[in-house]
Every structure is written in structure tokens, then in C-alpha cells.
Amino acid sequence: MTLKKTPANGMKDVMPSEMEIRDYLVSVIKKTYAEFGFQSIETPCVENIENLMSKQGGENEKLIFKILKRGEKLNLEEAKSENDLVDLGLRYDLTVPLVRFFSNHENELPTPFKTLQMGNVWRADRPQKGRYRQFMQCDIDIIGEPSNLAEIELILATTTTLGRIGFENFQIRINERRLLKAMARYSGFAEESFDEVFVILDKMDKIGLDGVRKELMKEDFAVEAIDRYISLFEGLKDASDPLAYLEETLRGSIEEDVIPNLRETIDMVEQTKTAKFDMVFDPTIVRGMSYYTGTIFEISMPQLGISCGGGGRYDNMVGRFTGRDVPACGFSIGFERILLILMEQHFQIPGRSEMVAYLLEKDLPAQRLSMALSDARKEREDGKHVLIVRMNKNKKFQKQQLSEHGYTRFVEFYAHPITED
């Protein structure tokens, strides 16, 4: 039987040219986040299925790669349900594993705990361009900090990283889940229908305000509630200070600290940022994950028409493991999407070392081989990348292939010394 040489559906092989950029991105990310006090951790790619199915991952829980029980525990004949067959799954994000990790090691960790986690996750999604079933995630989180200092630090660290990679003129769009709920409550929607309303609101950038109205009407919500809700967004269009407008309009329907915290977060980031970007209050941002409880934010690149990261506050998640809520906030960079952008732009790694190829003629005498190895050692000590290979018969094609992989200088060694270029 001939084995399949292509990767499993939704997975991909990574070529050297892409791997080099991936490694560069990882090094910039880790270095920058370390400067902000984030400590790297690693969690297993496999988690207990009950943790993954705890109704904290939203739609991702439908995309879990589930793992059958092993050995004697797998009893196909007596199995009556999936629970009798499955006990583990591949992680679909890094947040659930982080919260389990923190709950298990809380007494060994500093407070607050600032952490960086990078690793592959798996989702049984429909593969398409830029979307795979296995992909890298890059998360920073702060656990144990109840104030908006956590949000400020997360945004500054993430935007500094993006700036160092070379991105500019992007936006951090920010909102608050409690503000979303206050707007829905003020309009007259029932609490149990909030999620349905937010799913429709999340389409605002695609269908516009009129589209949102039509979608709400289709769901048979009260006309009075829809009109009042839409009027809030119409008022925001004309408001010179949207936060002040909402603070006044929603007075009595929203906690007093929500608007001041949002305003302070935006102001502090704007005053202390190093990268070139804008903080934008956007009351239409929803973020689909059900575990968010407060501030939510996204990285938006208007010139490319995409978002490439996001996060928010999830203060109730640790309590699912420990019975005691601990404040937590996180920010995830869309690593694969950023990589795709750089690859499409033919990104060149800054300060890249010169790549030199030594081509050795077949049956090179020991004296000449020693000379080649010594010369290569000296060049490596000078910081150059030196490849030593045997010379092919078709030397021109060999050089062409090596050039495509980044080699810019060639040194040829023959059995008998001749002019070497």
C-alpha cells in the first residue's frame, strides 16, 4: 500500500522560508512580552474533555477533536453514549488550559500572574485560505489584577510587539460587555435574549444599522425595544463624545465605574504608547466567547479590511475550577493571520545574517577540505550562516536553488586550487 504524502486535511507542512519568518516572529514576541514582565509557560495539547466542554468556549466546543479512551477503558461493545468512549480532547484555545494551569499551581505563582503562552491549537473547522485545523495561538494574560491596569498593560505590550514587527496605522477597537448589556437593558430587551441581540449586533460592520434593525424585526422582538436600541446607535453617530453620551443616556442602567474605566484605559494607552495606532471606542464589538465579563478589544487593520487579534476580561472563569472567582484578562495576537500578511508582502527579516554556501568538489583532498571547514568556522564566528555541501554536476541549477532559499554568496572549493568566487 502506498502511503499518503500529503498532510491530513486542514493541516499543512511548513517550508523553510515560512519557518524562518515564524521563528523571527516568535523571537520578537517573546522578547517584547518579557520586557513587560510576562513569563512563559507551556500546557499540554490534550485536556480533559469535561474542561473543554464546560460551556466556556462558545462555538469552538462544537469543533473539538475528541480522543477515544485507551486500552481496557475503551469498551465499544458496552458503550451507550459518547461519554463512554471519550475522555480527552485536543485544546481549541489556550485560555481554558491556562485557567486550569493557574488553578492547579496558584500557590506557586506570583500575584498578579502575568503570563505568555504560545502553542498550537486544534479545531475541526472547514479548511480555507488562512484557516487551518491546526494553528499557532499567542496569548498574554494577567490573572489576579482587578483594575484596568491589566487592560492597559495588555494593550501596550501587544501594540508594542506589533510595532516592532513593522505594523502601523492599525486600530485597537475597545468596548465593554457590561455596556453592551446596559444598552440592551435600557432598550427593553429581556435578559435571556441578550445573546441573540448581540449576535445580530455583531453583524453591524457587514449589514449596517438598517440591516441590524431588519434582523431584529425578523426575530419578533418588540418594536419599541428595537426602536429604542437603534436610536442609541443613531445618537452615537452625532455625539461629539460617545462615552459621555452613553454615560448620560444610560444613567441608572449601568454600573458607575464602566464608562470612567473605559475612558481611562483609552487615555492612558494613547498617552504612553510607542507604536503608531489609534484607540477607538466601538460599541458594536461583541466578541463571541461567552466567558467575557468586562472590557473587550480587537486589533483592526482598516487598510487590509481584517482583524488580527483580540481579547478581554474573564473574571468568572477561574471560579469554575476553584469555586472562587479571580480577576483575569487576556489578549491574543492572530499569529497565523499576521504571518500570512507578512508572507504576502514578501517580508524580509531585518538584520538578517549573510547566508553563504560553500560548494565542495567531489573527492576533495583532506588539505582542501580542512581549509573549507576552517574558513567556514571563521565566517560563522563573524555571524554569517554558512552551508557546506558537495558540488552538483549542474552547478548553475544548484546555485539557483540555493539563491531561492536566501543564499547570496557562493565559495567553490576544488581538488586543485583555482580562482574561487
Q: What is the pLDDT along the chain (421 residues), one digit of tens a residue?
A: 789 999 999 999 999 999 999 999 999 999 999 999 999 999 999 999 999 998 776 778 889 999 998 877 887 777 777 888 889 999 999 999 999 999 999 999 999 999 999 999 999 988 887 789 999 999 999 999 999 999 999 999 999 999 999 999 999 999 999 999 999 999 999 999 998 999 899 888 889 999 999 999 999 899 999 999 999 999 998 899 999 999 999 998 899 999 999 999 999 999 999 999 999 999 999 886 668 899 999 999 987 788 899 999 999 999 999 999 999 999 999 999 999 999 999 999 998 899 999 999 988 999 999 999 999 999 999 999 999 999 999 999 999 999 999 899 999 999 876 654 4
For residue 252, give every residue at least 6 positions away whose Cβ sits within 8 Å of its Cβ, in sequence order, or none: none
pLDDT in tens, 113-133: 999 999 999 999 888 877 899
Q: What Cα–Cα distance (Å) separates residue 328 from each residue in 98, 146, 358?
A: 11, 7, 53
In 277-317, DSSP assigns E strands to 277-281, 295-301, 306-313
β-strands 355-360, 66-68 pairing:
unpaired
Q: What is the DSSP letter of 332?
A: E
Is 103:326 a contact under the CB 8 Å cutoff? no
The dihedral over CA atoms of 210, 213, 218, 224, expressed in degrees to the nearest 10, equals -150
**Among residues 173, 190, 63, 195, which one has the least CA distance to residue 124?**
63
For helices 204-218 and 223-238, the axis angle rounded to 10 degrees is 160
**What pTM did the predictor assign?**
0.90
Q: What is the DSSP string of 364-386?
A: --HHHHHHHHHHHHHHHHTT-EE
Give me the CATH code for the 16-187+261-344 domain, please.
Answer: 3.30.930.10
Cell of 46: 490534550
Q: Do you find a cis peptide bond into 112, omega within 30 degrees of 0? A: yes
Q: 219-245 pLDDT, tens per residue? A: 989 999 999 999 999 999 889 999 999
Over the Cα atoms of the chain, what is R_g? 27
The domain spans of the chain are 16-187+261-344, 355-413
400, containing H or E segment: helix 395-404
Side chain identity, residue 72: E
- Dihedral of the alpha carbons of 339, 340, 346, 349, in degrees to the nearest 10: 0
209 in Cβ contact with 297 (< 8 Å): no
Cα dist from 231 to 10, 207, 258, 393, whole Å: 44, 17, 21, 76
405 by DSSP, 3-state: which?
coil
Question: Per residue in 45-103, pLDDT tens?
Answer: 999 999 999 877 677 888 999 999 887 788 777 777 788 888 999 999 999 999 999 99
d(CA 217, CA 101): 44
DSSP state of 82: G
Q: How many C-alpha atoms does 414 have within 13 Å on its Cβ side?
A: 7
